[in-house]
Structure formats: C-alpha cells, structure tokens
Structure 1
Amino acid sequence: MTESFTFAIKELRFDETYTPADNTRLTTNFANLARGEHRQENLSNALKMIDNRFNDLARWDNPRGDRYAVELDIVSVEMTVEGSKEALPAIEILKPTIVDRKTGARIDGLVGNNFSSYVRDYDFSVRLPEHNTGRAGFSVPDDFGELHGQIFKSFVASDAFRAHFRKPPVICLSVSDSKTYRRTANSHPVLGIEYEPNESSLTEQYFKKMGLQVRYFMPPRSVAPLAFFFVGDLLNDYSNLELIATISTMEAFQKIYRPEIYNANSVAGESYRPSLKHQDYSLTRVTYDRDERSRLAVEQGKYAEEHLIKPLRAFLDEGSTKLAV
C-alpha cells in the first residue's frame, strides 16, 4: 500500500517569532504555546529550557554549560491518496538541529519528538469513545490503529522521507498514568536508567502497528522516565548528541504539558506509578491550556473522519490488504 500514498513535506521554524500556520493541526502542543497574550514569553522560555537541558546533559568539553543551542523545525506532512487530487494534512513532528557554538557545526537531530496526526486524534478521540458507548466494559476495535499504522509506515518508506532525513524517527512521549514502571539494573550514559512497565499500554499497541517498539528511560537528573518509540537499536543506532536533542526537547515540553509527572519535586523510585493528580510539583513559566488540547483533539478527529476516513474508506480498506507487514 506504500504506493497508494504520496507525501509532501513542509518545514517551519519553531522560534520566538513562530505563528501557527492556517492549516496547522490546532491540537499540536507547540501551536498551543504560541497563542494568547503570553505567546512570545512562552516560546522564549520553552526554548531556553531546551537549551539549558541540552547543555546540562552534554557536559564534556562544555565547562560554562553554554556550548550548544537547539533549533527546532515543525515538519508538516501532507498526504495524497491514489485517485484523489486533494492533499490532506496527515502528520506533524519536530526536527531538532544542534548548533555547536564552539566549532560552528550544525548537527542533525532525530526527527520525531512530539508526534501528532489527524487519524490518531480520530482513533482515540472519536472512534474509541463511540465504540465503547453503551458497553459494559472497555474494549478496542479489532482493527484499531491499522490505518494509522499503514499511513505512518508508508511515510517512513517514502521518497519524501528519505530525501529529508538520514535516520528513522524517534518519538518521545510521556509514560502512561495507568501503568506501573519498575526500575531495572540497566543504564545508559545519556538515556539514563531503564524502566519496564507492568503491562503493555494501548499506546504501545497502537505504536507497534506503526512499526515502532518502545523502551522507557529516566535520563540523568530527571524525575520520571520517558517513553522512546523507535525502530532498530535505540542504544546503538544514534549518537549521544542526537539522543540529548530528543531528551532535552521532549523533557522541556513534558514539564510544561504534565508538570505533575515531569516537574515533580520527588524522583521516581524503584516502583513508579505516574499520576496527574500528584500535588507536589512545580510549574514552569510557560502557559499551557490542557483543556483546549483535549477539546481540539475531538474537533480534529471529526475533521479526519469527514475528510479522510469516510470518503476514502472503501479504497483504503481494499488497499490495506496489499500492505506488507
């Protein structure tokens, strides 16, 4: 089914002057930060958090802790389905570039980081609630996530992806607040201490259909593990600076999005159960509207249903049988 989709990539710099494009997914968290009366202060503070954390983790040959800066670009992916002339917004992800102020070098980071997509919003905010309406217990549709997985794998295998990026994406997300994570003896100099969940989450299963596996690590001087979704070998396929760019970017955003977990005043122990009801945490100097994020996810999901799922369902169902697993 890879040949059934064609993709076009646009990049937009995420900096202090960033203004969300008219066709951006409004549910993307970085768009949320760039609205309202505190937009420029929000953006400035978020970017400073990322730079500071990067230099905190990249301490070698960096005595003043200011050698590196991170530039971020929002990668917007439009998709055209065979037989249709309309390009549909499909995916938005972040791409960091590491700037070495000492040597002047510019080093590509790993595309991925914050991950958003219309179909994912449809699956979790529209289809899943509708599927469970009136049911005695929670259940998941048999084909849940399959279309989204097909789209994502087609994108990563596309000429457009290969033309822009050297390595597969690494997506970094928050841990689930419905699972318990246990510390292991394994550690990595940059990723930190590895944790393992007590059971697989729905997000894990969803991302598995995208061709991604997951490992959980709590980086040095962090307070909670992060979820890293990847292909290949997370610990050996990427350089320390590439991993640090991902960690510093997503840890900063998670401190803003979920301070109860990632800006808590206590560190995750050997057995860790995240909670958004945790009260002992600190707020960042960045304003983030979590209620808006949840509300717009439903709106974006309904948009995907009307403009992608319904009109093209028959074609996609027929083509899905041709996709190599």
Structure 2
Amino acid sequence: MANDLTFRITRTRFDEDYSPADSSRLTTNFANLARGEHRQQNLRNALGMIDERANDLAAPSASAAAAATSASHASSASPAGDSRRYAVELDIVSVTAEFDDGATDVAFPLLEMLDVTIVDQHTGERHHGILGNNFSSYLRDYDFSVLLPTLDRSAGIPADFGLLHGRLFQRFLESDAFRSEFDQEPVVCISVSTSQTYRQTATVHPVLGAEYAHEHASLTDDYFGRMGMQVRYFMPPGGKAPLAFYTRGDLLHDYSDLQLVGTIATMETFQKIYRPEIYNADVVAPATYRPTLEHTDFTVPPVTYDREERSRLGVTQGRWTEEHLVKPHRALLARLAADTAVPTR
C-alpha cells in the first residue's frame, strides 16, 4: 500500500493577486472570492478583515507578549491594542495524491487548506500559525452530494460513511510529505449547524472565548470523526456566534494564543462572508442559541460571494471525483478503507 499511494505538497500564496489553480474546487471559500470582475477587491477586503480581526483578538494578550520580548525589542514593542501590529499571511497548501496502481489517472487533487503565518510588524518576528483553515476536499463533495442521496437514510447512515475520506486524511498526516513540513496537527474551523441548539458552558478561554455545547453528534461530527477529529465550540471575544473547531489534539493546550488568533481571524472572516446572517449579525448569540439563516438583522460584508453557486457545483464536483478518483482507483481505495493500520478516534 505504501508504494501505491504517496502525497505531494505545493504552496500558493493567497493574496490580492491570487487566481485559483485548475485543480482547485471552485466552491472553496478562497477560490470563490478570486473570480469575477470584483475578484481583486474581494481579496483585498477579505484580507483586510482578517488583519483587523487578528489585531482585535491579539490586543488583550499583546501586553504579555510585549513584556516577554521587551528586553531584546525595547524600542519596537508596541502597546496592547495597536491595530497595525500584526499581519496575517496565508498560503494555500495543496495536497496531491499520487497513485501507482496501474490506473490511467495517476494523480488527484486530494485536499487544500490554508496555512497561517502571523507577522509581528514591529519586531519582524514571524509566528507559524495553524494548518487546516478552509479545509477543502473533492471526496467530501462525492460523499455528500453523490453518495449520500442514494442511501436509504430511514435505516440510518451506514457505519462506513466517510470512512475512505478519513483513511486518506489520516494516511496523509502520517506521510513523509506532511511530517517534513508540519509538526502540529491541523485544526478545521467551520460554521455551527442550523439544525442544532447550542448552550453556553462555564468554560471561557482568553482567545477562543466562551465555550458552547451542542445537543448531539451530527453527521458532520461523525464525518470528521472518521478523520480522527473531535469538535468543540467557542465564541471568541467580540464574535457574534460560536465557531466549530475540529482537531485531533488538545485545542486549548497544543496551540499558542497567537496561533489561535490566526485561525479565528481567518475563519471568522470567511464565515462573515459566507454566512453573514450568523457571523455578521447585529446581535450576539445568547447563552442558548440556535443559528438560522433566516435572520434579517445582519450587516452585508464588502465582499461579493456566490453562495448559490457553491451549493450547485457540489454535485458537479462530486461527479468529477467519482470519474477521476473513485472509479479508476476502486481496488486500491477499497483496500485502504479496509486497512485497520490507521486508527480512527
């Protein structure tokens, strides 16, 4: 199996000059923004929103960071709340699965994620953030838009739904390609579900904010569970609604406050653009909260986003995955799905 499947990583800077690669899912948040006549202004505005939010979140802990480095950077340390201290740089990490199983299609664009770097513009220090932002997967399109509609859901979702996706993800994390570039687990941050009710708990983190708990595991929870990930929900200070954080590690202790700032600033910005009814609402989520896209009291962000196209293209992308991944590599993928050497959590 090891020789039949390997992985290759490439990087593309996500900035105002970014254009999606031919292999990128057009429904991925960052790719969707970079299309059409307003593409450059979209990107400029989105990146500006990320920087602004990062500085806002970093302000409460900036004093401690400045104090820790004051001896060597006495002249450059900035006061807490400096709105221009930090800049967020984003790289698109594209993961290609390369097959040596005799099929005509020898490579497939398996995953794309954003990798974060937080730059202290006063000291020049560069802090590596967290991989996983805007997690993108063609195979997930196939699972949810092609396979799931064919299943008899009255009997429940089959226990192996999403198993192949989880195996491929975990195989990538164990690969030389991943280990040569990253030394921390990814964190996938997405929107809360409109089908669940969330209740605030007593846990409060200085950067992640107030923790919420949900009623029961969702299909999305189970799907990410196949990837070895578990979920926690937090509403960051100054935020309008909780975010869902999926990770294989310990969200509260495996990452620094500044790393969490980079992820929240990035993903909350994209959610403000994609789901403004929830994340750019004019009111803050209460202690007992059920999200809805029916709210009318929200602010439209200065970014053009085609949400309808995103839903419509899911089936198209799923069919493309079926043709170029699922069918040509069926035997190898079946062996991988049955492989118990890669555990799920």
TM-score by length of 1: 0.96
User: Counterpart in 2 of 1:152?
Assistant: 169
Aligned to 2:114: 94
* Aligned 1:162-181 pairs, distance under 5 A: 162-181=179-198
The Cα of 1:3 is off from its aligned counterpart by 5.9
| Alpha-carbon distance, 1:251 to partner | 0.3
Partner of 2:18: 18
Aligned residue for 1:244? Answer: 261
Query: Which of these residues, 318, 321, 325, is aligned with residue 338 of structure 2?
Result: 321
Q: Which runs of 4+ in 1 moved over 3 A?
A: 1-4
Deviation at 1:284, TM superposition (A): 0.1
Show the counterpart of 1:66.
84
Amino acid at match of 1:198: E
> Is contact 1:181–1:272 with CA below 8 Å preserved after alignment?
yes
Gaps of 5+ in 1: none
Letter of the aligned partner of 2:11 in structure 1?
A: E
Deviations 1:139-191 (A, max 9, x none): 42331000000000001111101111121101100001100000001110000
Aligned AA (2:92) = I
Within 5 A, what are the aligned runs for 1:49-128?
A: 49-59=49-59, 60=62, 61-84=79-102, 86-128=106-148
1:262-290 CA-partner distances (Å, limit 9, x unpaired): 01111111110001111111100000000
Shift, 1:82, TM fit = 3.9
Partner residue, 1:43: 43
What is the root-mean-square deviation in Å for CA atoms of aligned residues?
1.4
Q: C-alpha deviations, 1:84-123, integer Å up to 9, x for none? A: 4711110010001111101101111100011110110100
Which of 222, 227, 232 aligns to 1:215? It is: 232
Alignment of 1:131 with 2:151, yes or no, is yes
- Within 1, Cα distance between the matches of 2:90 and 2:242? 23
Unpaired runs of 5+ residues, structure 2, are 63-78
1:140 match: secondary structure: coil
Aligned 8 A contact 2:56 2:81 in 1? no
Question: Counterparts of 1:29 and 1:65 in 2: how far apart (Å)?
Answer: 26
How big is the shift at 1:2?
A: 5.9
Kindly provide the CA deviation profile for residues 197-254 of structure 1, in whole angstroms up to 9, marking residues without a partner as x.
0111110000000011110000001010000011121101100000000000000000
Q: Retained in 1: the 8 A contact 2:55–2:81?
A: no
Contact 1:5 1:154 survives alignment (8 Å): no
Percent pairwise identity: 60
State the Cα distance separating 1:76 from its structure 2 match: 0.8
Distance (whole Å) between structure 2 residues aligned to residue 221 and residue 151 of structure 1: 37
The residue type equivalent to 1:32 in the other structure is: N
CA distance in 2, matches of 1:105, 1:47: 20
Q: Which of 143, 154, 160 is the equivalent residue of 1:143?
A: 160
Q: How many residues align?
A: 322
Cα deviation code 1:18-49 (max 9, x no counterpart)? 11112212221111101111111100000000
Matches within 5 A, 1:187-226: 187-226=204-243
Report the CA distance between 1:320 and its aligned residue.
2.6
Among candidates 296, 300, 307, match of residue 317 of structure 2: 300
